[in-house]
């Protein structure tokens, strides 16, 4: 057998491969939203929804923005709002603003060590949750309890390394369009 | 490698520029990609406005999503429950003996209670007979599986699967688990109904406290135990008093068990719900024909027409 460069499939199969890799971030985000809604009966499951979505938008906007275009983020935001019974479109606005912020800072932020991106994520997640709390209180005209904010803060600080670890593997493997 | 337009299947637009179905000039494409974020942002803000202006729109979306998700969650629900119940036979073998002893003791207590209940039932029947009591109509009910607890960060609700036979309009039905009131159906599609739990921030249930039926309002706080509001000043509800629903407002039938009064750390009265709200598996939905809720004030004329239509429907049903 001749040892040459690995034979890559061409045509249709290659395009399918590229498509699968390209849609991986969006698909994993939607699947995550679905899985978090399963009836496990765990405490704080509802708080996991916004934290996971924020982590997805943050990570993929930072390292692979082409794979998570704005319409997908808007759709995920609308879904998140419908699942979590918050006002329609509120989370879509928040996630898009988050994406805008991350895209603006990505040239500098993407080169930073992991610890710093983790800290920045915690700050942004808290800002998003806080904004959601304020806007939802305003839209429903009542003072919402602040306790979920604490849970969201703990989740975003504690779970980001695990989520990011999974995403970094995906970023180098199944989501890497350039490897197709 | 030139695979452009070969199959016409490439609908996405990777930034690598190698594949593209529609060839656009680079500056135009850059401008387009820069525009999507602001355009989507405007679109989302528009959605927020639409959601504020027309609650029905988001309700419809919600019901559509619930109907879509209910069968999917139903599929994953069974394995999760199997795991929860200790993995079948092997999981139960170890504590069969203790379980049997516990059940025997419980059975003995329940038999005593059965005697008490029968005596009370007879006494109740005798009292009702001497009062010429008109019984309230029996509610139509069915049992539904709780397929998901899709509460949000600031919302407490569960999704109940509706039976295939079609139960008619279940909006407004009272949901109870084996022990007490859990909530009410706020919207329903073809396959699933969403039950707003009594712990939700938006939940308000008129209740009657204790043997005298002291009126109060039970309001959800997003926490595990709803608060008691608007009780008669000077007559605070007694610790441990039983809380039943009250017919005030016509949203609930009277006398359904809700919970018991308890004073929290700040000495504010709250209700410990009888229903096991943290792990609901089955809910019975009771549709009470006479006390259909009128959630929005409707003008007199419309009310009469609606009442006629309702009466006709009742006649049709019976």
Q: What is the pLDDT of residues A126-174, one digit of tens each?
A: 999 999 999 999 988 888 888 889 999 999 999 999 999 998 888 888 8
Task: Give the confidence band of B314 by pLDDT, cuts at 50, 70, 90.
Answer: low
Angle at B72 between CA B71 and CA B78, to 5 degrees: 90
pLDDT digits (tens, 9 = 90+) for A27-85: 999 999 998 888 777 778 888 999 999 999 999 999 888 889 999 999 999 999 998 88
Nearest CA in chain B to A129: B153
Give the DSSP letter of residue B152: B
Measured from the Cβ of residue B133, the count of other Cβ atoms closer than 10 Å reads 11
Nearest CA in chain A to B10: A15
Using an 8 Å CB-CB cutoff, list chain B residues near A73: 40
Nearest CA in chain B to A136: B154
- Alpha-carbon gap, residue B155 to B174, rounded angstroms: 18
Number of residues written out for chain A? 180
Check residue B15 and give its pLDDT: 46
Q: Max Cα separation, chain A?
A: 73
Instruction: Give the start-end residues of each E strand in B63-173.
Output: 140-148, 157-161
pLDDT digits (tens, 9 = 90+) for B100-142: 999 999 999 999 999 999 999 999 888 888 888 877 777 778 8
Check residue B119 and give its pLDDT: 92
Percentage of residues of chain B with pLDDT beyond 90 = 27
User: Is A17 in a helix, a strand, or coil?
Assistant: helix
- Alpha-carbon gap, residue A160 to A59, rounded angstroms: 10
Q: Which of residues 11-50 of A touch B (CB under 8 A)?
A: 11-12, 14-15, 18-19, 22-23, 34, 37-41, 45-47, 49-50
- pTM as predicted: 0.78
Best residue in B154, B155, B227 to probe A by mutation, most A CBs within 10 Å?
B154
> The complex's ipTM?
0.84
Query: Residue B293 above 60 pLDDT?
Result: no
- Alpha-carbon gap, residue A65 to A73, rounded angstroms: 11
Task: Give the confidence band of B269 by pLDDT, cuts at 50, 70, 90.
Answer: very high
Check residue B76 and give its pLDDT: 84
Q: CB–CB of A18 and B19 under 8 A?
A: yes
Check residue B260 and give its pLDDT: 92
Higher pLDDT, A77 or B97: A77
Interval B188-192 mean pLDDT: 86
Higher pLDDT, B211 or A57: A57
Query: Residue B279 above 60 pLDDT?
Result: yes
Q: Which of residues 140-179 of A touch B (CB under 8 A)?
A: 142, 144-145, 147-148, 152, 177-178
DSSP codes of every residue in A73-131: HHHHHHHHHHHTTPPTTHHHHHHHHHHHHHHHHHHHHTTS-HHHHHHHHHHHHHHHHHH
Interval B189-209 mean pLDDT: 90
Task: Give the confidence band of B191 by pLDDT, cuts at 50, 70, 90.
Answer: confident
- Alpha-carbon gap, residue B20 to B254, rounded angstroms: 67
Check residue A126 and give its pLDDT: 94
pLDDT digits (tens, 9 = 90+) for B154-170: 888 999 988 876 666 78
Q: Which of residues 77-136 of A touch B (CB under 8 A)?
A: 77-79, 82-90, 92-93, 96-97, 99-100, 103, 132, 136
Check residue B18 and give its pLDDT: 45
Instruction: Give the start-end residues of each E strand in chain B.
Output: 140-148, 157-161, 174-176, 181-188, 192-197, 204-209, 214-219, 227-229, 242-245, 257-263, 269-273, 282-287
């Amino acid at each position: 057998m001749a040892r040459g460069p690995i034979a890559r499939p061409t045509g249709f199969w290659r395009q399918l491969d590229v498509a699968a890799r390209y849609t991986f971030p969006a698909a994993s985000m939607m699947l995550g939203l679905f899985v978090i809604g399963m009836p496990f009966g765990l405490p704080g499951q509802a708080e996991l929804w916004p934290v996971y979505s924020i982590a997805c938008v943050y990570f993929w906007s930072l390292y692979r923005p082409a794979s998570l275009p704005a319409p997908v983020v808007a759709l995920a935001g609308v879904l998140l709002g419908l699942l979590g019974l918050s006002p329609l479109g509120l989370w879509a606005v928040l996630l898009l603003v988050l994406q805008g912020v991350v895209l603006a800072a990505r040239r500098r932020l993407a080169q930073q060590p992991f610890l710093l991106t983790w800290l920045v994520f915690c700050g942004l997640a808290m800002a998003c949750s806080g904004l959601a709390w304020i806007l939802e209180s305003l839209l429903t005209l009542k003072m919402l309890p602040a306790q979920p904010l604490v849970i969201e803060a703990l989740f975003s600080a504690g779970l980001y390394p695990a989520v990011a670890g999974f995403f970094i593997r995906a970023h180098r493997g199944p989501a890497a369009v350039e490897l197709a | 490698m030139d695979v452009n337009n070969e199959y016409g299947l490439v609908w996405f637009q990777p930034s690598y520029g190698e594949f593209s179905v529609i060839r656009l000039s680079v500056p135009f494409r850059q401008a387009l990609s820069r525009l999507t974020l602001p355009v989507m942002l405007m679109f989302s803000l528009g959605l927020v406005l639409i959601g504020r202006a027309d609650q029905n729109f988001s309700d419809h979306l919600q019901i559509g999503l619930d109907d879509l998700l209910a069968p999917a969650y139903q599929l994953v629900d069974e394995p999760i429950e199997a795991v929860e119940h200790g993995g079948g036979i092997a999981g139960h073998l170890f504590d069969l003996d203790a379980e049997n002893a516990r059940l025997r003791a419980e059975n003995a207590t329940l038999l005593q209670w059965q005697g008490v209940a029968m005596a009370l039932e007879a006494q109740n029947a005798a009292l009702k007979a001497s009062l010429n009591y008109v019984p309230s109509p029996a509610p139509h009910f069915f049992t539904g599986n709780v397929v998901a607890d899709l509460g949000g960060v600031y919302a407490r609700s569960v999704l109940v699967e509706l039976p295939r036979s079609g139960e008619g309009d279940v909006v407004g039905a009272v949901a109870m688990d084996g022990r007490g009131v859990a909530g009410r159906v706020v919207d329903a599609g073809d396959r699933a109904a969403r039950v707003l739990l009594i712990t939700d921030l938006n939940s308000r249930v008129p209740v009657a406290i204790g043997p005298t039926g002291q009126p109060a309002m039970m309001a959800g706080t997003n926490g595990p135990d709803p608060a008691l509001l608007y009780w008669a000043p000077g007559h605070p509800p007694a610790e441990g008093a039983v809380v039943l629903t009250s017919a005030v407002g016509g949203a609930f039938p009277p006398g359904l068990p809700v919970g018991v009064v308890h004073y929290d750390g700040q000495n504010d009265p709250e209700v410990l719900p009888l229903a096991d709200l943290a792990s609901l598996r089955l809910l019975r939905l009771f549709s009470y024909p006479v006390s259909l809720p009128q959630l929005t004030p409707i003008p007199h004329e419309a009310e009469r027409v609606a009442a006629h239509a309702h009466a006709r429907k009742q006649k049709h049903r019976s």
